[in-house]
């Protein structure tokens, strides 16, 4: 069973453990959440401290409308969801603190267009020059065709010099 809740601290800590040993110059976590931290055994501030220790920037994004949003609240006997308006709770203070502590930035996205703009802004802030080496192997493929053409020219020369010489 999957419990309903948001484990912001656990999410950051898991991401830190995955990228802490990376040899890249820029280590970044993008935390996208639609709730408040109400699950998990690691506090968000503790996981932000871990990210800071390993030099990982955390960009936090709170997603959702301001006010109330339509959300599933129960299940009908036929398997369909029952929806109701519930208050959107995003702990912007904690998300802002996490971003500030790690050198990232907090964003709020209330629709798809704003979310796309946020990702574009993060992309502009996190540009890194990557050196790329390309190795290509080229093979010449003309030799069989040239050999066939030479053989045909030789056969033509032989026939013109011997058998076809006497034909008008």
Q: What residue ranges define each of the domains in the chain, with the CATH number in brackets? A: 8-125 (3.40.50.410)
Give the DSSP H/E element, type plus range, for residue 156. Answer: helix 143-161
- pLDDT (0 to 100) of residue 2: 45
Q: Could you give the percent of the chain with pLDDT greater than 90? A: 48
Residues 11-43 pLDDT 10s = 999 999 999 988 888 899 999 998 788 888 899
HSE of 66, CA atoms in CB hemisphere, 13 A: 4
Residue 30 to residue 15: CA distance in whole angstroms = 9
Mean pLDDT, range 59-63, rounded to an integer: 94
Measured from the Cβ of residue 46, the count of other Cβ atoms closer than 10 Å reads 13
pTM recorded for the entire structure: 0.67
């Amino acid at each position: 069973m999957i419990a309903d809740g948001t484990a912001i601290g656990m999410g950051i800590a898991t991401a830190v453990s995955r990228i802490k040993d990376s040899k890249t110059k820029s280590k970044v976590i993008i935390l996208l959440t639609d709730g408040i931290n109400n699950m998990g055994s690691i506090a968000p501030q503790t996981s932000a401290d871990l990210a800071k220790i390993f030099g990982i920037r955390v960009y936090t994004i709170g997603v959702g409308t301001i006010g109330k949003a339509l959300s599933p609240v129960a299940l009908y006997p036929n398997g369909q969801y029952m929806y109701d308006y519930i208050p959107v709770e995003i702990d912007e203070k904690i998300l802002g603190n996490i971003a500030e502590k790690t050198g990232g930035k907090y964003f709020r996205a209330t629709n798809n267009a704003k979310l796309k703009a946020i990702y574009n802004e993060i992309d502009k802030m996190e540009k890194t020059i990557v050196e790329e080496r390309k190795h290509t192997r080229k093979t010449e493929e003309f030799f069989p065709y040239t050999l066939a053409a030479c053989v045909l020219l030789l056969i033509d020369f032989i026939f013109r010099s011997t058998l076809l010489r006497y034909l008008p």
